[in-house]
């Protein structure tokens, strides 16, 4: 009897240990899948300088990387010093500008644009991988424009893609036009979620029938995750809270401290949960990444912020990044 009782106790302990291990594993998976930011990860695991592409020497991308500091090339949710820069802890560990008004202004095409950040592992049209500066226009280039007149949410087939890479690109001055790289833009569908999960979805293959999972070209739009990662630079605890929100509109201190929070503009990303090929995600201006059923791709309701990647060799030659003294560029 004693041996049977001991065996029962041992089995109970084993089942308890197994249950604990299952719970711990589920928590780890949830954190990695849904983007719950809990700690700093050393660059030996995620840093661009160990597992990702490096910016070209003397390039603008290297200049911005150096603003973050030589010894800060690791994944952390915190703003780095007073630079309004932070790594995003994605698989590419991009370096992004964050907050309500960071010094990320750049003069491009004789206009004010903003540097979203240094994006790693970007594939160009020749299949080469680089770290590159990603820019977004500071003001809307078009207002009240349809995404696609045929009501399709695939950017590669859209009328907006034709406009931006036709008449709009043609009007850019030749010097600036030569700085634009032709790269792979990911067109994976998503829904509003934690920023890490949205980043993963955007780069996935979940698209509607006959739609493309990527497009190669010069002028695109921001991803919803670009908006979500740009929150808050002054308060690291608030930034962590914001990055752990699925819906930013629930916390005004988050979306009111985000330079990409503008009124009603298109993103690149189809919305997947409605199962309609005519619905996209767009930035509303009150923290929402939305997909109302009454605004389809063919409705001329949203504004347009052109977005692009600079060639890896483009240099920053002057300026301090403020709106009155924007960075200047050269090849």
Q: What is the mean pLDDT of residues 166-172?
A: 98
Terminal alpha carbon distance of the chain = 84
The whole-angstrom separation of Cα 114 and Cα 84 is 13
Q: Where are the domains of the chain?
A: 1-34, 43-330
Query: Quick one: pLDDT at residue 12?
Result: 62
Nearest to 78 by CA among 259, 237, 275, 294: 237
Query: Quick one: pLDDT at residue 78?
Result: 79
The whole-angstrom separation of Cα 236 and Cα 85 is 12
State pLDDT tens for residues 194-224: 999 999 999 999 888 889 999 999 999 999 9
Q: Maximum distance among all alpha carbons in the chain? A: 90
| Virtual torsion, Cα 140, 272, 182, 194, nearest 10 deg | 80
Handedness of CA 195, 55, 83, 219 (dihedral sign): negative
pTM: 0.85
Question: Alpha carbon 39 to chain centroid distance?
Answer: 20
Question: Alpha carbon 184 to chain centroid distance?
Answer: 14
Query: Quick one: pLDDT at residue 34?
Result: 38
Q: Which residue has the tokens 């301090």?
A: 320
Q: What is the mean pLDDT of residues 256-281?
A: 88
Structure token digits, residue 42: 């050393």
The whole-angstrom separation of Cα 191 and Cα 163 is 26
CA distances 331 to 174, 240, 310, 323, 328, Å, are: 12, 37, 10, 22, 11
Let me know: does 44 contact 50? Beta carbons within 8 Å: yes
């Amino acid at each position: 009897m004693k041996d049977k009782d001991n065996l029962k106790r041992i089995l109970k302990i084993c089942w308890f240990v197994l249950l604990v291990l299952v719970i711990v594993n589920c928590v780890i998976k949830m954190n990695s899948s849904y983007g719950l930011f809990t700690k700093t990860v050393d660059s030996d695991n995620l840093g661009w300088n160990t597992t990702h592409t490096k910016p070209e020497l003397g390039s603008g991308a290297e200049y911005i990387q150096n603003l973050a500091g030589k010894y800060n090339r690791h994944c952390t949710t915190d703003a780095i010093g007073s630079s309004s820069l932070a790594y995003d802890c994605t698989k590419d560990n991009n370096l992004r500008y964050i907050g309500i008004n960071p010094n990320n202004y750049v003069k491009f095409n004789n206009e004010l644009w903003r540097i979203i950040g240094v994006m790693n592992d970007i594939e160009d049209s020749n299949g080469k991988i680089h770290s590159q500066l990603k820019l977004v226009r500071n003001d809307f280039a078009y207002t009240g424009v349809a995404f696609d007149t045929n009501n399709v949410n695939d950017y590669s087939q859209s009328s907006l893609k034709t406009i931006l890479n036709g008449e709009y690109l043609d009007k850019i001055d030749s010097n600036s036009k030569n700085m634009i790289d032709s790269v792979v833009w990911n067109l994976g569908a998503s829904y509003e979620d934690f920023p890490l999960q949205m980043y993963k979805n955007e780069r996935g293959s979940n698209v509607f029938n006959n739609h493309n999972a990527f497009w190669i070209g010069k002028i695109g739009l921001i991803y919803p995750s670009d908006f979500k990662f740009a929150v808050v630079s002054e308060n690291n605890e608030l930034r962590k809270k914001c990055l752990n929100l699925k819906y930013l509109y629930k916390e005004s201190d988050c979306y009111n401290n985000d330079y990409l929070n503008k009124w009603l503009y298109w993103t690149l990303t189809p919305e997947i949960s409605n199962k309609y090929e005519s619905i996209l995600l767009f930035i509303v201006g009150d923290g929402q990444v939305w997909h109302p059923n009454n605004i389809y791709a063919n409705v001329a309701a949203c504004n347009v912020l052109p977005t692009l990647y600079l060639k890896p060799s483009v240099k920053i030659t002057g300026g301090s990044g403020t709106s009155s003294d924007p960075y200047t560029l050269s090849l």
